[in-house]
Chain A
C-alpha cells in the first residue's frame, strides 16, 4: 500500500515548489561563459585612462563580447551579439587608445560599447557584411578630445568604406568601391586612409590594390597596385595588413612559405626576406604580431609555426623612408609557444608563452627582460595535455626591466588561463560555450559496481558467491583510507561545509559534452568548477562544425554519433579513453520480438525493420504537399512511470495511455503560417493525435516535448482580428479511456502489439497564454517516476529557465466552473487561460543564463531529485526536487541539536537510573 502514501506525500507537498534561499547558490552552478576568444579580438585595455586597472576584452567565436576582470576571471559585462553561432563569420573588436569605448563588428552590425560597464553607445548597420573595422587615430592638429571615429569596410554587392562618428555612429562619409575588386582590409595612417583591395587577375591570381583616401572627405587621392605577380594564389597567404601607423605594412608569403614579402603601405617598394627554417621543417603557419597603438614604435614580430616548433623574428620599420630591417631572432623552441604584443608608452614588448616558461623581450633588443617558470602541477598546460593556442599579454615595466606580466592564454583544451608571472591565477572553461550536445553518465566507481553486480546476477550461485567474496576482500583494502577520512566526513556533515567527495545520492554524475570544435569535455555535476577531462575527439578542418550527439550507452560509457564517421564511437566517461564497441554491454536490452527503427532522412520520416534482407520500410509518414518536418521528439527510451493510472478524488482510476513508442512530430507548411502537431505510434506509424494551428509566427521558436503519457508544445500565434499576437503553450494528455476504472478496449491484456491492434488513446488538451516564447522544453526525470514532474522551459528572451509544475498544466483542470470536492482532492483547480510564470518557478533565480540551447535531465539515486544541465553558451546546472526533498534531510535540519538531545537523554538516563533503582528497593522494604 505504498501508493496512497506516495500520493499523500505528493499531494501534501505540491505547492512547495521554489528554489530555497539556502540552496540557491550551493546546489546550482553556472559558468557565465564568453566562448572561445579569438586572437585578433582579445586584448587588455584600460577603460579609464586615468587608472592603471585594465580589463581583458574579447569578442569570441560564439559572438559574445565581454570584459573579464584579470584579477579573478569574473565577467564584468557581456553581450550576446548574435545567436546564429556561426563561428566562421568574421568579427572585429577595437579599442581606441585611452578611451572608454570598444567598438565591435559582427555581420553587418557595428556597435560601440562603453568599456567600463558595457552600455551600448551607438549602433550602426553597415550596408553588408563587414570585412574590416578600425579606429581612426587621426592627428588633425586640433587634438580633439572626444571619441575617436571608426572606419568600417563592408563587402557584398556594393562594397564601401565608411567613416563613422565616434560619438554617435553617424556616417561622416562613404566611399564606394566601384572597381569590382574584393575589399580586404582598411588601414589608417596619421594622414591617410588606405583601402586594401584584392584584384583577381585573369590567371586566377590575386593582386593587392591599395586605394588611398582622404580621411576628411573620403575622396580617392591615389591608387596603386603592388607587383605581387603570380605569388598570391589566394588571400589566405596574406599574413597581415597593419591597421595603423604603428604597423604600416602589408605582409604576405608564397604558398610554400619560402619568402616573406613586406610592403610599407603608401610606398611601392616590396622587401623580400627569405624564411629561415633554422634547420627544421618549413613553417605551416606564419603570423604577425604588431602593436595596435599608434603611439608605439613601428616594430613587429613574425611568428613561424612548424609542425613541432615555433620561432620568431623581430623587424623594425622606418616609417619615414619606408625601410624595413630585421632586428633579431627569437630562438626555436620545441612544442607550441604563443606570442603576444604589449605596449608601454612607445615601447613594445613581446611575450612568449611556452609549456614551461613565460619570457618577455623588448622590441628593441633581444635581451630577455623577464623570465618565469610556469609553476603549476595542476594546470593542463604543464602536464602536456594542452598547448597554448594564443595569448594576450600586459606587461608592467619598472625602469629597464619588466616587473610583472599577465598573459591570458587560450589553451588547446579550450580553457582560458591567466598566467601572472607564470603562475596560473584562474581558468575559464570557455570550451563549454560551444557545446552542441551533452549527456549524463555514471562515474567509474558507480559504473564498476553496477557492472560487478550485473556479473554476479548473471553467473551461477557458486561463482557469484566467490566473486562477491573477492570483491569484499578488495573492498577491505579501502578500509584504512575510509577510516582516515571518517573524522573529516563527520566534521563536514556536522558543520554542513559542503561535500566530502563521496556521492551517496548520485549527484556527482559526469556530464560529457561535445563541442562544435570537435572536443569532448567532461565535467562533474557535483564539482562543476573544474573540467574533468577534455580531449579532441575528431580533427576538423577550419570552419567546420562538429555535428555530434552524445548519449549514454552503458553505465559509465557514452556513445558519440556524428556526421563524420558512420559508426558510433564509445568513450569512458570518467577518463575520456576511447573504447571499442565490443566492450560495451548495452543497457537497453529489452526482450522485444520486433525492433523498429525510425529515422528522419531527407526531410522524410521512415520506420524500418531490420531483417536478413536489410532494412525493410515498415511505414512512411505521408507529408502533404508543401509540408516540412520541423522537429521530431521521441519519448525518452528510459522513462520510468510509477503508476499506470491516475487516482481520482473518489479513488477511482483513470488509466494513462502508456506506450513507449510515442513520438511528437511538428510540421509546417511552406508559405503558410501553419503548424501541425502529430502524436505518432512509431511502431505502426499511426497518428494517435493531431492538431493544426493556423496563423503562426514561424520565425518564433516552436518547442515541443513528450514524456510519460503527455506532451507539451509552444508556439507564437500572430495577431488576428479577435486576438493580439501571443505565445501559447499547449499541454495534452493521452488516456486509455476517459471513464474511470476502465482500461479501454484491450482491458486486462498483458501485452499489446501495435501492429496487430489499433487502439486509439483519448486525448485531453488545454491551451494557455504564456508571457514569453519558449525556445526549448524538457521534462524532469527521476529514478522511478514517482515524483511529480516539472516542465522545464528555456526562456530565451529573459535568459532564464522555468520549471512549470505538472499539476499546474494538467489538462483535466475544470473549465468554466469551480472544481468539485473530488477534483479538489486531486489537486485540480479551475482553468485560467493565462498562465503566468510564477517567480518561484525560475530555476536560475538571480543568475542570467545566456544563450541556452538545450536542457537535459537525469535521475539521481534519490527518488526526489532530478539533475538538470543546461548548455548552449552558458552552462547551468542544478538539482530539482519537484515534490520537495521528501527523502533527504534538508539543510535546516540541525544535526547538532539532534545529537545534543540524544547525549542529554543518555546522560539523564545514567543519572536517573540509580535513583530509580534505590526508590524501587525502598518501596519493597518500607511500609508506610
Chain B
C-alpha cells in the first residue's frame, strides 16, 4: 500500500499559524504590548500587582467630598436661571401652547425638586456634617425659589395674575339706584 499522498499546500497553510513576527519591518510603537506577550506576562504575575493601588480615603475626606458634591447640586438650579430667563423672554407673552407648556415646566421643576429634596441629598448625608447639609438644602430651596420667581414673573408678564383692577371687575357691582323712573306714554 502506497503511503498516503502528502496533504495539499492549502491544508498545510491552514494548519500552520503565521509566524508571530511583525509583517512589517517597522518596530512596534512604544508602550504597545502584543497580545501574546501580555497574556504570557499576566499569567506570570497574576498574584503580584505591578503598581501600588491608591489608598482608600478616610471617612473625613469622603464627607468633605460629599459636601462639595452636595453644594454643586444645590447650586445647579441657579446656574440654569439665565438660560431659563432667556427662554422665557424669547417665548413672548402671548398665550400659546408652547409658552404655556414652558411655563408649566418652569413651575413643575422647582416644586418637584423641593418636594424630593431629601431623596436628592440622601446620598450625601453623613453623620458629622448635619449642619452643613442644612445649609446646602436651604441653598437648594432658595435656588428653586428663584426659578419659581422667574415663573411667576413670566406668568405676570402673560397677564395671568389677577393684579389689576380689571381682574376684579366681575366682583364689583353696579350701584343700585334707589329710585326708578318709568316712561308712561300718554
Contact = CB atoms under 8 A, between A and B. Distances in A.
A661 B185 CA distance: 16
Given A652-B166, A741-B165, A599 B178 contact: no
A752 B169 contact: no
A566 to B, nearest CB: 10
Interface string B133-167: 00000000000000000000000000100101111
Contact of B177 (A643, A644, A647, A659): A659
Contacts of A2: 170
B186 interface: yes
A3 B159 CA distance: 13
A650 B179 CA distance: 35
A600 B186 contact: yes
Given A645-B169, A653-B165, A597 B175 contact: no
Contacts of A648: 166
B12 interface: no
B176 interface: yes
B10 interface: no
Interface in A579-603: 590, 592-601
A663 B183 contact: yes
Contacts of A275: none
B166 A653 contact: yes
B184 A592 contact: no
A15 to B, nearest CB: 19
B94 to A, nearest CB: 11
A1 B167 contact: yes
A714 B181 CA distance: 26
B61 interface: no
A444 B164 CA distance: 46
B54 interface: no
Contact of B178 (A1, A594, A598, A637): A594
Given A1-B167, A601-B186, A749 B175 contact: yes
A752 B178 contact: yes
Interface string A631-666: 010100100010111011011110000111101000
Contacts of A746: 175
Contacts of A599: 183-186
A661 B179 contact: yes
The secondary-structure label for the interface of chain A is: loop
Interface residues of B, number: 23
B165 A596 contact: no
B179 A755 contact: yes
Contacts of B179: 592-596, 661, 683, 753-755
A752 to B, nearest CB: 4
A607 interface: yes
A549 interface: yes
B177 A660 contact: yes
Contacts of A598: 181-184
A653 B185 CA distance: 37
A683 B182 contact: no
B13 interface: no
A597 B178 contact: no
Given A549-B185, A595-B182, A647 B175 contact: no
Contacts of A740: 165
Interface residues of A, number: 49
A559 to B, nearest CB: 11
B175 A752 contact: yes
Given A2-B170, A597-B184, A751 B164 contact: no
Interface in A731-755: 740-741, 746, 749-755
Contact of B170 (A3, A607, A641, A752): A3
* Residue from the set A2, A597, A641 with the largest chain B CB neighbour count within 10 Å: A597
A896 B173 CA distance: 45
Contacts of B177: 592, 659-661, 683, 751-754
Interface string B71-86: 0000000000000000
A891 to B, nearest CB: 29
A195 to B, nearest CB: 47
Contacts of A549: 185
Contacts of B180: 590, 592, 594-596, 660-661, 683
B88 to A, nearest CB: 20
A707 to B, nearest CB: 15
Contact of B169 (A596, A641, A653, A753): A653
B28 interface: no
Contacts of A749: 175
B131 interface: no
A682 interface: yes
A144 B178 CA distance: 81
Nearest to A680: B181
A561 interface: yes
B172 interface: yes
Interface string B96-135: 0000000000000000000000000000000000000000
Contact of A597 (B166, B170, B181): B181
Contacts of B170: 1-3, 643
B77 to A, nearest CB: 31
Interface string B7-34: 0000000000000000000000000000
Nearest to A651: B164
Nearest to B159: A651
A34 to B, nearest CB: 30
Contacts of A660: 177, 180-181
A632 B183 contact: yes
A440 B58 CA distance: 94
A601 B183 CA distance: 12
A592 B165 CA distance: 30
A647 B174 CA distance: 15
Contacts of A753: 177-179
Nearest to A656: B174
Given A658-B174, A661-B177, A643 B169 contact: yes
Given A1-B162, A601-B186, A593 B169 contact: no
A549 B186 CA distance: 11
Nearest to A660: B177
Contact of B182 (A597, A601, A632): A597
A874 to B, nearest CB: 25
B166 A645 contact: yes
A470 B148 CA distance: 58
Given A1-B162, A647-B166, A749-B175, A596 B183 contact: no
B181 A661 contact: yes
A663 B182 CA distance: 10
A659 B175 CA distance: 8
Contacts of A682: 181, 183
A316 to B, nearest CB: 57
Contacts of A661: 177, 179-181
A658 B172 CA distance: 13
Interface string B48-67: 00000000000000000000
A648 B167 CA distance: 11
A223 to B, nearest CB: 53
A652 B175 contact: no
Nearest to B170: A3
B172 A651 contact: no
Contacts of A593: 178-179
Contacts of B159: 4, 651
A651 B166 contact: yes
Nearest to A551: B185
Contacts of B175: 658, 746, 749-752
B169 A3 contact: yes
A606 to B, nearest CB: 9
Given A3-B170, A683-B181, 4 more contacts: A594-B180, A597-B184, A634-B181, A645-B172
21 contacts: A2-B170, A3-B167, A3-B169, A592-B179, A592-B180, A597-B182, A597-B184, A599-B183, A600-B185, A637-B182, A652-B164, A652-B166, A658-B175, A660-B180, A660-B181, A661-B181, A663-B183, A683-B179, A750-B176, A751-B175, A754-B178
Q: Which 8 A-B pairs have the closest CB atoms?
A: A682-B181, A651-B164, A596-B181, A594-B179, A592-B180, A751-B176, A647-B166, A753-B178
